[in-house]
Amino acid sequence: MAEIIQKDGTWVFDGDALRLTPGRDKNVSPLRRELGELNVPLGALAGLSFEQGKKTGRLRLRLRDGADPLLQATGGRLTEPHDPYQLLVDSDRYGVAEYLVDEVRQALLLDEVPADPVDAYLLPGPSVPLSASAGDGTASFDGERVRLEWNWKTEESKSSAGARSLAVAEIEAVEWQPAIGLENGCLRFRLRHAPTKAPAKYDPNAVELWGFKKDPLMALVAAAVQARLPHPAAGPRDALPAQREPDSAAGDDHDALLRRLRELGELRRDGVLTDEEFAMAKQAVLKRM
């Protein structure tokens, strides 16, 4: 086992997974504290590197593309203080950091873990229920529905219709954009059959963000919803009802569904899916069979 303990957090590698625990230092961001401990399976890792500096260094963990709904929802736009996959290292712990890197790299080689993208989430996303307030509203998510509520700073044309309640089945995509310079950010939910090009300021399915301290917490809501949407790499078949296919393809389709059932079982055993989530996903596959 390899372990490094810093004010910024603690990383522990046991050969099968890397456990990331945020520190209690006042400089640790609210997003990382709210996200809590992450257990990253070896199969989700693409690599680990360490960069030395004069006073502090930095461990950087790379995940395989598509493995984490948080990274999928934020598109790599989380800045360093909020990125849970980075750890500040004091100069007197450089040797420990390098040892951790060597252990993870050796395990990746021995297990022959590929670095290519995955077509299913290997991390479960933030726990629900959760709620975050920033910008012109509050976004809450209970695992099934998103609720958007507005404050006194909301544009009247958006707030006049009252709070919004969106079922996960209605949501086609979710995006989180941080505020950059004079350009505001947003947490936006794109609905099926209801495309819009309206700015977040006027979009009733979006919270406008102005670059304040609590803005990154909205990324947690985005990630929790993203974890319950069809994986982007899985293709449209997982997002749409199955259509009748020619008989010549029926056998191949049946085999693919059986493989999907086995994958779901493995995800439940690994703790990626809860029993309830597994039962829902299994039922969806069985209906297609």
pLDDT of residue 178: 93
Q: How far apart are CA 218 and CA 188, in angstroms?
A: 10
Q: Which residues contact 184 (CB under 8 A, 6 or more apart)?
A: 135, 200, 201, 208, 209, 210, 211
pLDDT of residue 234: 76
Alpha-carbon Rg for the chain, nearest whole angstrom, is 21
pLDDT of residue 272: 56
- In the chain, which residue ranges form alpha helices assigned H by DSSP? 30-35, 69-74, 94-110, 156-159, 218-226, 247-269, 275-288
User: What mean pLDDT value characterizes the chain?
Assistant: 87
68, two tokens: 């984490």
The CA-atom distances, in angstroms, between 89 and each of 9, 114, 218, 238 are 9, 28, 27, 42
Q: Cis link prior to 129 (omega < 30° from 0)?
A: yes
- Residue carrying structure tokens 């990274």: 71
Categorize the per-residue pLDDT at 52 as very low, low, confident or very high, splitting at 50, 70 and 90. Answer: very high
The CA-atom distances, in angstroms, between 198 and each of 63, 81, 138, 166, 188 are 33, 31, 19, 18, 11
Q: Which amino acid is at 271?
A: G
Res 107 pLDDT > 60:
yes
pLDDT (tens digit per residue) in 154-196: 999 899 989 999 999 999 999 999 998 888 999 999 998 888 8
Q: How far apart are CA 188 and CA 174, in angstroms?
A: 6
115, two tokens: 């670095």
pTM, rounded to two decimals: 0.78
